[in-house]
Amino acid sequence: MARILSTWRMSLEGAEKAQKLLNNNGSAGDAVETAIREVEENPLYRSVGLAGLPARDGSVSLDSGYMDGATLSIGAVGSIQDFAHPISISRALSKLHLNNCLFGIDAERWASANGFERINLHDPQSMKLWQDMLMKQSTPQVYKGHDTVCVIALDGANNIVVGTSTSGLFLKTPGRVGDSPMPGCGFYADATIGAAAATGVGEEIMKGCLSFDIVSLMKNGRTPQQACDEAVHQLDARMKKIRGYTDDLSVIAMDMHGNIGASTTIQNFSFVTPDEEGKLTVYVARHNEPETIYAPATQQWLDDYMAVRHAGKLEQW
């Protein structure tokens, strides 16, 4: 069963293209890259690619990861500026034998030398949000309500691939990377088991190596839903025990039969996947124990989501 699964409503248009590709015997790698490129080039979505929200110093830097479950090949870039499609760079790096994860200026040099498109990622509305935030706060707080696009694709040849792309946390310290370019944390795929990916506060997700943890739980017999809930709830409980709270995080997973799972610590985590009839659907999940609750998004929810973006506002969770 060829199936796409992706994080947040913003991935819908890309997921539509990717699902079509999979239905026409396209590869999981092409599906992941297609879906993520669509989000990267859409300036309405300010947490990925073009028009991404800036770091504290006003720079816009991007992180991305890619993993092929059949070969276990990994590629990742972190903290790169002014490239249109980090996911394509990550995918290209995954084809090399060594030197698969490149960060900062040397990643940019490699991408330039290998012909990847450079663009100015800055956008007037994102810069305005940055300026407003700086003016409001004497010590700017890192804004934690943010979204990474994560895509998992299972193809007809029985391969599974996962990819991520993000501009990271708004007002982050320049040079900071989160979980999204970190194998095992933001993404992991193994075509003998399945794949998982994460979005939310990277510093928290990395503490649990959440994507690898979920794939390991599936290896040990959990369904994708059980694996997502177990990994998230265990980390949540541990962090609350250590320091009284857990920063926001959400995950998705798929096994090799196309069964899916999602879990979250928040009340409003959206993801996209075909429903039982094969219709691509936006679901909204909310934190619940022992099992996450999710249902198709209402029209009102979908309208509100887009209205916030068209108005160039920040989403408040």
What residues make contact with ligand ASP under the rule CB under 6 A? 146-148, 166, 168-169, 178-180, 199-202
Rank residues 146 and 233 by Cβ distance to ligand ASP and give the closer one: 146
Rank residues 150 and 191 by Cβ distance to ligand ASP and give the closer one: 150
CB of residue 316 vs ligand ASP: minimum separation in angstroms?
14
The CA radius of gyration of the chain, in Å to the nearest whole number, is 18
Rank residues 168 and 261 by Cβ distance to ligand ASP and give the closer one: 168
Rank residues 21 and 196 by Cβ distance to ligand ASP and give the closer one: 196
Verify whether residue 148 is a known catalytic residue: yes
AA letter at 166: T
Rank residues 180 and 225 by Cβ distance to ligand ASP and give the closer one: 180
CB of residue 199 vs ligand ASP: minimum separation in angstroms?
4
CB of residue 93 vs ligand ASP: minimum separation in angstroms?
19
Question: Which position among 34, 148, 246, 264 bears the catalytic label?
Answer: 148
CB of residue 148 vs ligand ASP: minimum separation in angstroms?
3
Q: In what order do the strands lie in the sheet with 249-255?
A: 187-190, 194-200, 249-255, 260-264
Count of Cβ atoms closer than 10 Å to residue 293 Cβ: 11
CB of residue 147 vs ligand ASP: minimum separation in angstroms?
5
Distance between CA atoms of residues 307 and 165, nearest Å: 23
Buried-exposed string 73-98: b where 16+ CB fall within 10 A, e elsewhere: bbbbbbbbbbbbbbbbbbbbbbeeee
Distance between CA atoms of residues 162 and 151, nearest Å: 6
Distance between CA atoms of residues 223 and 108, nearest Å: 39
What's the number of CA atoms in the CB half-sphere (13 Å) around residue 248? 16
CB of residue 144 vs ligand ASP: minimum separation in angstroms?
8
Tokens describing residue 47? 């947490």
Placement of tokens 């928290």 in the chain: 204
Rank residues 54 and 200 by Cβ distance to ligand ASP and give the closer one: 200
Distance between CA atoms of residues 67 and 21, nearest Å: 19
Pairing of strands 187-190, 73-81: unpaired
Q: Cα 7–202–192 angle (5° rounding)?
A: 60
Instruction: Give catalytic residues, as residue numbers.
Output: 148
